[in-house]
Structure 1
Amino acid sequence: MLLIADYFLKQSFTKIVANTSEMPKYMKLKFDSILIKSLNFSTLSKYLAELNQNKIVYIDFSCKCIELIQPNQPFNIKLESLKTIDLSCNKIKHLDKDCFISLSNVEELNLSDNLIDDLKLGWSNGLSNLKFLDLRNNRIKKISTINLNSLEILLLDENEIEQIDKDNFKSLVSLKILSLRANKIKKIEESMFNGLRQLQELNLNSNNISIIEDECFNEMTNLKRVDLSSNQLRNIQIFLFKYLNILNILVLCGNQNMKLEQEFFNKIKNLKVLFT
C-alpha cells in the first residue's frame, strides 16, 4: 500500500506540493501501471485521508493483478463520498469475512471477471448501502447467504452454480433484478427464491433446468419478466405463474420439444409477450 500512496502522490498531480490542502480534490481515482497483489481498504482509506482526498466517489482497480482483499478492521473511514469500486478483471480467488467492512457508503461493487470460487460467510459485512453487485464470469459453485438488505441488482451470470440452498436470498428484500444466466442449475426448488417479494426481473436462461417445483415463484408477485430460455424444460404448468399478476414478458424459447397447454398465453393474466 505504500506503493499506492507513493504513486498517487508523485504521478496523479500536475505538481508535487508539500501542503496536501493545496492538492486538487479528485472524484475519480484510477491506479494505472501498478502491480498490486493484496489490497486492504482500511489502509487505503488512511492514506487517502492523509492526502486530504476525502471526496473520492469512484475507485478503479480493474485489470490489475489483485489476488487477495484482506479482511479489515472496522475503521472510521474518511471517504464518505465513495460510491463505486471496480475490481473487475483481476485474479481474486475468494472473498473472506469482513474484507469490505470499512466501506459502508459504497453503492456499486464490480467483481466480474475474476477467479472467485468461494464466498465466505460474512464477506459482505459492512456493505450496508450496496445497491449493485456484479459477480459475473467467476467460478462460483455455491451461493452462501448474502445479507445485503439494500441490494437492488445482483448479477451472477457465467459461473458454475449448480444449486441454491433454501433461504439464501431471503435477506435481499430490496432486490429487483437477479440474473443467473449461463450457470449449471438443474432444478428450481420450491424455496429457492424465498423472500424476493420486490423482484421484477429473473434471468435463468442457458442453464440445465429440467424441473421447476410447485410454488417456487409464489412470493415474487412483482415479477414483470422471467427468462427460462435455452434450458431442458419439456413441460411448463400454468399454475406456476398463478400469483404473477403483473408478469409482462415470459421467455421460453430454446427448450427443445417443450409442450405448453392450450391457451397458455391467454391464461396468464397481463402477459403481453411470450417467446417460445
Structure 2
Amino acid sequence: MELASVYYLLFIIYFTKFGACDSKFEHISDCVYARILERKPGTDWLTFKCNEVDHEQDIFLQDKFHCSYHPVNHSEYAFYPGTIKFENCRFNQIHIDFFAKFPNIHTFNISDIELETLQIGTFSGAKILTNLFVANNQLSEIQSGVFFAAKNLEVADFACNNIKSVDTFAFKDAKILETLNLSQNAITKLDEYMFVDLINLKELNLSHNKINEFDFSALPMNLMILDLSNNNISNLERTFTKIAKLKHLNLAFNPLANLNIGAFAKVPYLEYLNLRQTHLSAIPLATFSHQQKLVSLDLSENYLKKLDFKMFELILPDLESLHLNGNRLKDLHGFASELFPQLHVFDIRGNNFNCSYLLQFMKSISSEKLHIPVAPETIKTGDTHVQGIKCKSRDEVMELQNHDNVTEGDEATEGHEATEGPTQDIQLHGNDMKDNGAKSTRECHNSLYLIIAGIAFISSIFFYCYGLFKIFGQLKSNNLVPEVSIPHEMISERPMMLNI
C-alpha cells in the first residue's frame, strides 16, 4: 500500500511538472516587471503570465502596474516597458488597440501563444516597433495591411507556423525591414512583387518550406544572406541578376540535379555557398569562375564521380573550407595545396577511394596546415581505412568498376545508398554554412515531456490497481470481507457440459 502511494505521488509530480506546465490559458493572471534603466522609456522588460484566473483588472491600474515582482515602489511604478513577452498564454489574435496602451514598445515577443490570425492594422499603433517575434504559432497566412504604419520594423520572425501564403502587400510599409524569417512553414510560392518595398532587406530565410519555383530576379538588391535550403527547387534558370551584394547562399537539400555555367555569375561577392545534397552529378567548367571571394564551399552528399581541380586554378584564393564528403569520387585529380593557399578544412570522407591511392594522397599533402576531418568511431573491425578515412580494397574496387556499368537512370534511383552512408558515417564538422532549419532559435515540437508523462500515467494505473489488490487482501485477512457460501443443492454432481 505504501509503495502504491509513493508511485501515485510521483505520478502527480510528473503530471504537474511535465503536463500541467504545457497548458496554456487565455487570462492574464500576473506579470513580471524588470527595470533596466531608471525611468527611461522603452528600457524595461514586461512579462505577462497566464493562468485560469483572470487578474487583468488588478494588474492594470490606470498608468501603473501591479505585478508580483517589481523593482520599485508602487507609487513610482510608471509605464516604461520596451520589451513585452508572454508565458503560458493562448491568444487566437492580438487586439488592434494593444499598442495604444504600450507606446514605447520596441520588441514584441508573441511566440508560442497559439496565435491563429493577425488582423489588418494589428501593428498600426506600433510606431517604434523594431523587433517582432511570432514564431511557433498557428498562422496560415500573412494578410495585406498587417504592418500598416509599422514603419520602424527591422526584424520579423515568423518561423515554425503553418503559413501557406503571404500577400503581395503584406510588408508594404515595412520599408526598413532588414531581417525576415519565414522558415519552417508550408509556402509553395511567393509573389515576385512582395519584395518591392523591402529595399533594405539584408537577410531572408525561406528554408524548410515547399517552394518549387522562385524568381531570384525579384529579390531586393541589398540582400546579403539568403537561405532556401530544404525546399523543392529543381533549377536555377532565373539567376541572381539583381542581388550582386549576396554573401551567404544556402541551397542545400533541393533537387537541383544540374548547374549551368552562369548560375552564380551575378554574385561575385559570394563568401559562403552550400550545395549539400542537391543531386549534383557533375560541376561544369567555370561554374565558380566569378567567386573569387568564396570562403566556404559545400558540395557534400551528392553524386559526384569526377572533379577536376584544375577548374579552380587561380579562382578561389580565399577558400578556407571545402566539403566533398559523401560523394562517389575515386580520385582528387589535379588537387594541390597551392591552388587553395588559405584552405584549412578539406572533407573527403565517404567516397570511393582506392586505399593505395588514398595513402599516396595523404602523404602528398601538408597535414600541419590542412585539416582533413575523420570519424574514427565509424571504423569497424575489418574496415579498410587510411588515417581514419574509409577506402576500398582491391576486391571492392573491382566490384565498383562493374557497378559503374549501370545506366545514369539507374544511378538516379539508387540515391545515396551507393555511397558509404553519408548521413550515418559523415559528420558535418567544420561546415560554415549550417542548416538554418536548426538556426531558428527554437524547435517546433518537443515530445519528450509527453512521453515521460505517458509512462508515469501508465505506471500510476498499474500501482493503483496493485494498491486496491493489497487493500482487498488486508481486509480479507482481517475477516472484514464476508465469505459467500453456496448451498450444497445448487452444486451439480454431474460434470458440466458445454453446448457448442
Q: TM-score, normalised by structure 2?
A: 0.47
Structure 1 gaps of 5+ residues are 1-6
Equivalence for 1:236: 307
Change (3 A) 1:21 1:158: closer
Equivalent of residue 322 in structure 2, options 241, 244, 250:
250
Deviation digits for residues 4-34 of structure 1, max 9, x if unmatched? xxx9xxx969526489887462221123645
Equivalence for 1:4: none
Equivalence for 2:135: 62
Aligned partners of 1:185, 1:64: CA distance in 2, in Å?
Answer: 31
Per-residue deviation, 1:173: 1.7
Aligned partners of 2:164, 2:263: CA distance in 1, in Å?
Answer: 26
Equivalence for 2:176: 105
Please say if 1:31 is aligned against 2:110: yes
Change (3 A) 1:258 1:114: farther
Q: Secondary structure at the match of 2:108?
A: strand
Equivalent of residue 217 in structure 1, options 273, 276, 288:
288
Equivalent of residue 279 in structure 2, options 208, 223, 229:
208
Q: Secondary structure at the match of 1:118?
A: coil
Code of the residue aligned with 2:60 in structure 1: it is: K
RMSD: 2.8
Code of the residue aligned with 2:266 in structure 1: it is: G
Change (3 A) 1:192 1:258: farther
Aligned partners of 1:39, 1:232: CA distance in 2, in Å?
Answer: 47
Aligned partners of 1:17, 1:241: CA distance in 2, in Å?
Answer: 69
Deviation digits for residues 153-183 of structure 1, max 9, x if unmatched? 111111122111142x121122111111122
Deviation digits for residues 202-260 of structure 1, max 9, x if unmatched? 01112211122222211222111101011111111224323222222211111123432
Structure 2 gaps of 5+ residues are 1-27, 29-46, 49-55, 64-78, 80-98, 349-500
Change (3 A) 1:94 1:23: closer
- Give identity over the alignment, percent: 25
The answer to whether the Cα contact below 8 Å between 2:185 and 2:209 also exists between their aligned partners in 1 is yes
Equivalent of residue 122 in structure 2, options 28, 41, 44:
44
Per-residue deviation, 1:84: 0.7
Matches within 5 A, 1:145-184: 145=216, 146-167=218-239, 169-184=240-255
Aligned partners of 2:62, 2:287: CA distance in 1, in Å?
Answer: 61
Higher strand content, 1 or 2: 1
Mark the structure with the bigger radius of gyration.
2
Aligned partners of 2:141, 2:147: CA distance in 1, in Å?
Answer: 18
Q: Secondary structure at the match of 2:195?
A: coil
Equivalence for 1:3: none
